[in-house]
Amino acid sequence: MELNSLIDICLHQLTMSGVREEEKVVVLSQGRERLDLADAFMAAGQKLGARMYHMRLPEPLPTSGAWQVGVTGLASNPEAVEALKKADMVVDLIFLLFSDEQMAIQAAGARILTAVEPAPLLARLLPTKELRDRVEVGAEILSKAKMMRITSPHGTDVVYRLGVYPTMSEYGCTDEPGRWDHWPAAFVFTGAADDGVDGRIVVAPGDVLLPFNSYVREPITYTIEKGLIVDIRGGLDAELVKSYMESFNDPKGYGMSHVGWGLDHRAQWHGLTQFPGGMGMELRSFHGNVMFSTGPNNELGGPNDTACHLDIPMRNCSLFLDDEVIVEDGKLMIREMQAR
């Protein structure tokens, strides 16, 4: 995208994120990644009268093994973390999620917006007030639930015991102190009690494995007992998931992470065919998907801090909260969560 268009979408983003005159906004990048986006955010923030600077970390050294969440170049830079804690807002172009550093920055009151998807996707899925309202309705309903049940025509039947961990919402912008969000995003999630997931999840053809960024072709059947995955079986896709999870050599990787549903009618299930190099935020957000995840729950305040994390948005599921139907066969049933 040319710089002026990028500045326009960043201006929209920072406005939706409540950036005001004299606010301190830091854009965080590393290496040569997303420098055009960093420049656009700097220019947009300046237009709003914010006090901007760009903190650029070096390119990470090549490491062996699987991509891990929660490991960032800030870990060896406590002075940089201190500077970020003093900001009103940090624009994260690195992907700090699940890192101790992100938690420290939020705890100090700085809000964080992560933007790592390709610019054309950022432009297509701009945050809107309507989307935020819709997500907040979902979060309100989810936060009151004590039990979630998910079923599917392929044989999923799993129960999450809720009420222990908070409900989180992502709507693609952030204007509250200490709040994190990710652009683009439109979904709600929470986590079960640590021993509170039991049943079977059958990931069906067309469902999505993130961070593999692939569509499942053969069913994968997960058996879950007391919050732990005790069995994974199926064909090639199941073997790939098992091999990936084993590579972390971490029993905590078999825990159950966040669970919820997507709310953006503009997001497309086939999005990975257009942006195969992205992080899959479009897939997490498409309207009526039900997404379960495996691995850490420290984002919600839980004890599981494993680096082994998969997000798995599924189609055509039904989701019930305390026996009220929220999603039926992949369609949101609550009027306030439907696209107007």
By beta-carbon proximity to Fe ion, the closer residue of 289 and 293 is: 293
Contact between 235 and 271 (Cβ < 8 Å): no
Which residues are CB-contacts of 122 (< 8 A; sequence separation ≥ 6)?
9, 13, 37, 115, 183, 184
Centre a 10 Å sphere on the Cβ of residue 127 and count the other Cβ atoms it contains: 26
- Sites for Fe ion among residues 13-42 (CB under 5 A): none
Q: How far is the CB of 50 from Fe ion (least distance, A)?
A: 30
Reduced to 3 states (helix: H, G, I; strand: E, B; else coil), residue 147 is strand
Alpha helices in 152-192 (DSSP H): none
The smaller minimum CB distance to Fe ion, of residues 87 and 158, is found at 158
Structure tokens given for 159: 């129960």
Judged by CB under 5 A, the number of residues near Fe ion is 2
CB of 46 to Fe ion, least distance (A): 33
Q: Which is nearer to Fe ion, 119 or 168 (CB)?
A: 168
Between CA 77 and CA 90 the distance in angstroms is 16
Angle at 109 between CA 108 and CA 111, to 5 degrees: 125
293 binds Fe ion (CB under 5 A): yes
Query: Cβ 90 to Fe ion, closest distance in Å?
Result: 20
CB of 12 to Fe ion, least distance (A): 26
Closest to Fe ion by CB, 194 vs 311, is 311
Q: Which residue is nearest to Fe ion (CB)?
A: 311
Interface with Fe ion includes 114 (CB under 5 A)? no
Q: Are 312 and 295 in contact (CB under 8 A)?
A: no
Mode of pairing for the β-strands spanning 324-328 and 318-321: antiparallel
β-bridge partners, 28: 55, 92
In the complex, the smallest distance separating the C-beta of residue 209 from Fe ion, rounded to whole angstroms, is: 12
The residue range among 141-149, 291-299, 317-325, 332-340 that interacts with Fe ion, by the rule CB under 5 A, is 291-299
Q: Which stretch binds Fe ion (CB under 5 A): 86-94, 181-189, 259-267, 285-293?
A: 285-293
Q: Which is nearer to Fe ion, 27 or 168 (CB)?
A: 168
Q: How far is the CB of 296 from Fe ion (least distance, A)?
A: 8
Q: What angle do CA 332, 334, 339 make, to 5 degrees?
A: 65
From the list 124-132, 239-247, 306-314, 318-326, the region that binds Fe ion by CB under 5 A is: 306-314
Nearest to 191 by CA among 254, 135, 148, 141: 148
Residue with tokens 């656009």: 40
Q: Shortest approach of Fe ion to residue 170 CB, angstroms?
A: 10
Written as six digits, the tokens of 168 are: 């989180």
Please identify, using beta-carbon distances, which residue of 23 and 311 lies nearer to Fe ion: 311
The residue (of 88 and 311) whose beta carbon lies closer to Fe ion is 311
Alpha carbon distance 130, 338 (integer Å): 11
311 is an interface residue for Fe ion by CB under 5 A: yes
Give residues in contact with Fe ion (CB under 5 A): 293, 311
